[in-house]
A and B are shown apart, each in its own frame.
Chain A
């Protein structure tokens, strides 16, 4: 009877991943029944484009959640990155080639501070990142003086070199006949890197152990604090990257941009199978979660029943997906017993 265990384990993976895949397909079919044009390449590409920022933010959040911590500040960091880039480049005249790496470094430093406060200073990461969420929003308001920026129309007295503008906008330019945005390739590239780190590197192997049982990891002398700080730092860099890419795509930034991304990112990660108690989660799951959310958003935008529908669906899908996960794991443990 125990001979079936590997089978059961793989069965569970299929059910879990399959549940998400099934949800994505069912939602697509339902939308197609209401609107015949839904199942098309153009809509697919549009969904992929609109999932980018949630997916890239989700990659970082997945690392932090697997390590057993939480990061509420990724959305705010996304906004701060976009604003600090606008201010240093458009207002400050710093060349884009310096402003971009600077923004990524700021993301890393913010993440590192979150990590250090959550480990060495022993402040719960929920509290630390609730604080940095507000702090980053405040800094966004401060540096932008509460105004919006667009590099195509710089404020009086500033000007943006044409070459630099072309380079910046080109980061997410549309490619080919189907208007495939380059942002999608950035997302795929980031997912490949983070996926490799999580699933094929010593860092990822240990991160699961640390998130599953931090006390045991300490007694086994694994570098618990260092790895958690690295996970937070990666989340900061990825949030900055998402902010930069969306700024390049939309070409405008506001002081409060990104704040509303906070909870959809969490939804994507937990729909993807990550556990808020740590030690569990995958990159492919997070991407699937982000895709499902973008699919719902796009489909509801096409049907346009009103802005209420998107929020209601987000709520139902989040609780439903996690509820399904708990029901499935109970089902599995009953079968195993």
Chain B
């Protein structure tokens, strides 16, 4: 056992014990025998890669769903779903409030204590708002106040209904440094009042700074806990990637080292600044045949960098593609793939039509705009095979495909447009492991044809398997550019990235 990794301490008095929780969605096993102990007055950190079961755990703890097996109990015995729904409060990164109502009204909804008349704010609510620092906003519509204030309102709502367990789900991902500090002050207050507090976040520095114990979830169970001096950013980073077996082919050093020297860069970005200040002064280049990942937690600016190159975020600076300057040129010579299939696919079209949706004359229509139906059909069949889409036929509805195959269709749609550079946001979100590897290979093949791939990732494993180089973003700045080929094992890459991110703060 790694030093610092210890068995879960058992809690007594007001604690909650989770034993053997299991939950499946269709064929996906989200949780498979998760054990965890929660103690009042303690802040527990939870980390884990995407798809490890964090959100499922949150939903079950919050009483939104029942587990298939296992149980949740406190000192008095089994906790029912109603009990959990009543006592557990989730603070989301995007608070779930009533945007059309005022701050004060939001505190009242669900506990109006009136049968007929319009409910009124009472003294305890006013005191609560005052201690939360939101009394000044009490008559403002929630949609008009800042995100940090909305989160306070969500915490306030939970306190007002006497919740005992607080789940913070990536709470500060879109907050400024000052706002984060205020939020964590609030989080510690909630904990000191004897409540159970759980912090789920991708931000390793927050886990180290604000928690005494971090539990790591992988494949639906707890895969180690860190406490005391063993709780460091690097230790979490190593634990996050422990036991992952990258594909043999992807770690092929020869493949990664075939960049031709002296060739001008495909994409060159300098003095690149986001108008809304998500990032500033970003400078990097991307060569032909190169697959580059931009990595960073929410709020680091990494996602916005990618979207700005696609032309969906207002930015200033110098951007060149094959030496030609200008946002409009880059826009016309690149193709973008959105992170969610609901933004990249047309649910009312067939698989074949989805693949061909970005094409125009001369590929699928003649000069008069008449569709070439026969060519479209044979082309769709060819592309379905070429992109390894598992479909019975091109004419079946896109909604009948699995998530992984839908994502292959989305990527095929963009690649068929023959862009010089393809921009992808979280290219394998919600995709099974087999499809992931196929998608990485498709992107690799596309790059090998002389194009470039730039993708926004949140997972080190994805970076290690798919990318030649990773650009690490921290607080709106490019902290490091790291070659993946310099790292034999994924743990080493994870440690390098964590070190670079830590130094940049």
Contacts and interface: CB of A to CB of B under 8 A. Distances in A.
B269 interface: no
Contacts of B395: 6, 9
Interface string A205-234: 110110111011101111000000000000
Interface stretch (B38-46, B51-59, B260-268, B363-371): B363-371
A196 to B, nearest CB: 8
A3 B312 CA distance: 41
Interface residues of B, number: 32
Contacts of A5: 392-393, 396, 400
A336 interface: yes
Contact of A2 (B349, B360, B371, B400): B400
Contacts of A213: 342-343, 345-348
Contacts of B396: 2, 5-6, 9
A9 B358 contact: no
A219 B344 contact: yes
A280 interface: yes
Contacts of B392: 2-3, 5-6
A316 interface: no
Interface in A269-286: 279-280
B338 interface: yes
A201 B342 CA distance: 25
A203 interface: yes
Contact of A203 (B312, B338, B357, B369): B369
Contacts of B343: 213, 215-216, 219
Nearest to A223: B360
Nearest to A275: B348
Contact of A200 (B349, B360, B373, B414): B373
Interface in A1-39: 2-3, 5-6, 9
Contacts of B414: 220
A202 interface: yes
Given A201-B369, A205-B364, A208-B349, A216 B393 contact: no
A204 to B, nearest CB: 8
Contacts of B344: 216, 219-220
A200 B347 contact: no
A206 B357 CA distance: 7
Interface in A228-285: 279-280
Interface string A186-206: 000000000000001111111
Interface residues on A, range: 20 to 34
B456 to A, nearest CB: 14
Given A5-B396, A6-B396, A219-B344, A202 B371 contact: yes
A201 B371 contact: yes
B365 A209 contact: no
A336 B413 CA distance: 25
A201 B360 CA distance: 10
A209 B346 contact: yes
Contacts of A221: 331, 335-336, 358
Contacts of A220: 335-336, 344, 357-358, 413-414
B105 interface: no
Nearest to B356: A205
Contacts of A3: 392
B185 interface: no
B397 interface: yes
Interface string B300-344: 000000000000100000000000000000010001101000111
Contacts of A222: 357-358
A336 B392 CA distance: 14
Interface string B348-361: 11000100011011
A222 B360 CA distance: 10
Given A205-B353, A222-B358, A279 B369 contact: no
Contacts of B357: 205-206, 209, 220, 222
Contact of B349 (A212, A215, A219): A212
Given A209-B357, A220-B358, A202 B369 contact: yes
A40 B97 CA distance: 63
A269 B396 CA distance: 25
B371 A208 contact: no
Interface in A141-162: none
Nearest to B337: A219
Interface string B380-408: 00000000000011011100100000000
The 8 closest A-B pairs by CB, nearest first: A212-B348, A279-B348, A202-B365, A212-B346, A5-B396, A209-B346, A202-B369, A201-B369
Interface of A: 2-3, 5-6, 9, 200-206, 208-209, 211-213, 215-217, 219-222, 279-280, 336
Given A9-B397, A216-B345, A217-B346, 13 more contacts: A2-B400, A202-B364, A202-B369, A204-B371, A205-B364, A212-B347, A221-B331, A221-B336, A222-B358, A279-B346, A279-B347, A279-B348, A280-B348
6 contacts: A5-B396, A201-B369, A205-B364, A208-B346, A212-B349, A220-B336
